[in-house]
Structure 1
Amino acid sequence: MTRVQETKRLPESGGGAGQEAGAAPTEVLAPAHTDWLYHHLRVTGDAAEVAAFRGAAAGAGVIPWQHSLGRAEEDWFHLLVAPPPPLTRSLSLEGARILAGQLRTAAEARLRLVAERSGESRASLLDLHRLLPVPEAILRLGPEHSEARTWLWERWGTTEALRHVVELPVPKRGQPPKRDPGLLWLGFWSADWTPWPAIQQLRERWPGLRIAVQPHYDDP
């Protein structure tokens, strides 16, 4: 299915979602079940500028959320004490409360680890959080908060970090990659939509480069 989204000039990323007084809330066009779409990104231009872009774009490839999972703990507790049919409850109320607390502790520990490592890792060749950082105030809200989702939708055009970013063409096993210094060609998966707002901001910030993105809806 072809998806079309118009590109518009967006405000600089900084601060909260920042709806103007009296303005209608932004509709985040993200379905309940994420549809991951495959894309190619080609960045071409002067070799030094392409290298600078490559260095700026590399990061952990995650959004380092910092929110508390108190609400999630309650949701897990209620799910454990009243599981959907045909499942039946196998824990006491006390056991369910303990397990929900353990799940929260483990999840928050993982969030802290992700946040700590996100500033050091360069595992992803196209990290939107490195290029267009999510503000601290938004990170503290968590990924399910409406203001956080609105910020991501308005600034990035997608509500998740990009996934499975690879440099193209993928070299054969045992062979070194052959790179054109004036080209950065990447494949990546984006949640639900092409990240047009992010691409537009990158074009404005790197006017000496040609940044082209192409969705591949029929890619397996």
Structure 2
Amino acid sequence: MIKVREGRRLPESDSGAGQGAAPPAEVLAPAHTDWLYHHLRVVGDPAEVAAFRQAAAGAGVIPWQHSLGRAEEDWFHLLVAPPPPLTRSLSLEGARILAGQLRTAAEERLRLVAERAGESRACPLDLHRLLPVPEGVLRLGPEHPEARAWLWSHWGTTEALRHVVELPVPKRGQPPKRDPGLLWLGFWSADWTPWPAIRQLRTRWPALRIAVQPRYDDP
């Protein structure tokens, strides 16, 4: 469930914006993810806005490539020794089979996500397209401390943006009406406004005015 919480903005010196910035000692993300709703406005020459629109569109996912061998073992142990008040309902052999099936299903999902990341342009603001996660980081997996540190220092959030839509949302059956000099988006960001990513985009697209704002009154 998506929840709105108090907006947070890091001081300029603490956000780890640049590609060469050292990872922070601590990723400031709560144990249970909260989601902040934002508006992003990109304004400028229509040709520049069109170029940004094309560069930013992607699948909206992070194509992690890590091995799930450790996850399979964790699932097996949870199945054979579930936490109270649950009791075990599978034999050791059954638990091993089910853990293997879970791994196979999860690996298939990762494969599909990786394929989609290279083909889809359904998401109008894909941070992985604009600021790609390095291959070495992708192989670590989303829970690895170094992977989270990279996302934190370069994006300012530890997950891909969600529910990215172009605003205003057109009525069903009607074509969208676009101002060629404006890209106006709504999106949800995990825990924080992605300031490091926004700063990098401003640097890479100096001819555009890129403004982002948390919106607490517009779910």
Q: What residue number does 1:109 align with?
A: 108
Query: Does residue 72 in structure 1 map to residue 71 in structure 2?
Result: yes
Residue 159 of structure 1 corresponds to which residue in structure 2? Answer: 158
Q: How does 1:3-14 map to 2 (within 5 A)?
A: 3-8=8-13, 10-12=17-19
Give the partner amino acid of 1:63: I
CA contact (8 A) 1:124 1:165 kept: yes
Residues 17 and 155, structure 2, Cα contact 8 Å, conserved in 1: no
Checking the alignment, whether the CA contact within 8 Å between 1:41 and 1:214 is kept in structure 2 is yes
Q: Specify the SS of the correspondent of 1:129.
A: helix
Query: Is the 1:7–1:197 contact (alpha carbons within 8 Å) kept by the matching residues of 2?
Result: no
Ranges in structure 2 where 5+ consecutive residues have no aligned partner: 1-5
The two structures, once aligned, show a CA RMSD in angstroms of: 1.5
- Report the counterpart of residue 35 of structure 2 in structure 1: 36
Q: Partner of 1:187 in structure 2?
A: 186
Q: 1:16-165 residue pairs with structure 2 within 5 A?
A: 26-165=25-164
Post-superposition Cα deviations, 1:87-122, rounded to whole Å, max 9, x if no partner, equal 211100111011001101110111012112211100
Kept in 2: contact 1:43–1:209 (CA 8 A):
yes
Aligned-pair distance for 1:12?
Answer: 2.3
TM-score for the superposition, normalised by structure 1: 0.92
Deviations 1:32-68 (A, max 9, x none): 1110110000000000000000000000000000000
Give the 3-state SS of the residue equivalent to 1:31 in structure 2. Answer: coil
1:2 aligns with 2:1: no
- 1:10-47 per-position Cα deviation (integer Å, ceiling 9, x unaligned): 3327xxx865xxxxx52101111110110000000000
Cα drift, residue 85 of structure 1: 2.1
Deviation at residue 218 of structure 1 after TM alignment: 4.1
Distance in structure 2 (CA, Å) of the matches to 1:2 and 1:55: 29
Any residues of structure 2 matched to 1:165-184 within 5 Å, and which?
A: 165-184=164-183
Counterpart AA for 2:17:
L
Aligned residue pairs total 212
Q: What amino acid maps onto 1:74 in structure 2?
A: E
Tell me, what secondary structure is at the counterpart of 1:79? helix
TM-score (norm 2): 0.93
Cα distance in 1, alignment partners of residues 68 and 111 from structure 2: 12
